[in-house]
Amino acid sequence: SQTIHQWPATLVQPVGSPLSLECTVEGTSNPNLYWYRQAAGRGLQLLFYSVGIGQISSEVPQNLSASRPQDRQFILSSKKLLLSDSGFYLCAWSVRRGREAQYFGPGTRLLVL
Amino acid sequence: QKEVEQNSGPLSVPEGAIASLNCTYSDRGSQSFFWYRQYSGKSPELIMSIYSNGDKEDGRFTAQLNKASQYVSLLIRDSQPSDSATYLCAVKYSGAGSYQLTFGKGTKLSVIP
């Protein structure tokens, strides 16, 4: 069966510091990968998605970036965090084609102070 | 712009009652519909998927889809306090970018013992 991991689970960072969140998927090959952010009391916002190694599409202009160095690894980064970057960051995967759902990892809760 | 609308709630039902959650979507070219459950502080969990008009039952859950009216609903029979969560409706549209999901903001359900 497929498993998706995210770490760290919780992170408290000062404004202006860098960020690196990692997501890995097990039990599947060639998945689509996604990064979402969920701010307090708000809906899911798609940040980035990837259909393959090195292929990244950005949905929202911001100070975040994403990379996919391996088939089942997806990384979310920032060079300088803003207060507004606080939120619940979720990685998800889906099969490459078809009508199936996305499946979420456990998430990383980020607080920028 | 593709939209998915849900009543934010909270929806309160007594234990043992039927909870009815509704969702409307804007684009007729939709092909897949999903319901996710999200407990407070946790990531969304897929509970139902539906692709064709009509009803789909899974245990105490029934998803209903009406493409002509552009709505999808989730019924929870014999509601339990453990069903208290936010329920997210998600729609996958056909065409370019069809691997993306559009999420509603969710309906918060509270089951009263």
| Closest in A100, A104, A109 to B44, CB measured | A104
Higher-pLDDT residue of A75 and B9 is A75
pLDDT at position B48 is: 96
- Section A57-61 average pLDDT: 81
CA dist., res. A54 & res. B107, Å (int): 36
pLDDT at position A19 is: 96
Size of interface A-B (CB pairs under 8 A): 45
Q: Would the CB atoms of A43 and B106 count as touching at under 8 Å?
A: yes
Q: Using a CB–CB cutoff of 8 Å, tell me whether A58 touches chain B.
A: no
Q: Which two tokens stand for residue B46?
A: 């897929």
pLDDT at position B97 is: 60
pLDDT at position B107 is: 96
Q: Using a CB–CB cutoff of 8 Å, tell me whether A41 touches chain B.
A: no
A74, pLDDT greater than 70:
yes
* Helix (H) or strand (E) run with residue A22 in it: strand A19-26
Q: Would the CB atoms of B32 and A101 count as touching at under 8 Å?
A: yes
What are the pLDDT digits (tens) for B64-81? 999 999 999 999 999 999
| Closest in B32, B43, B88 to A106, CB measured | B43
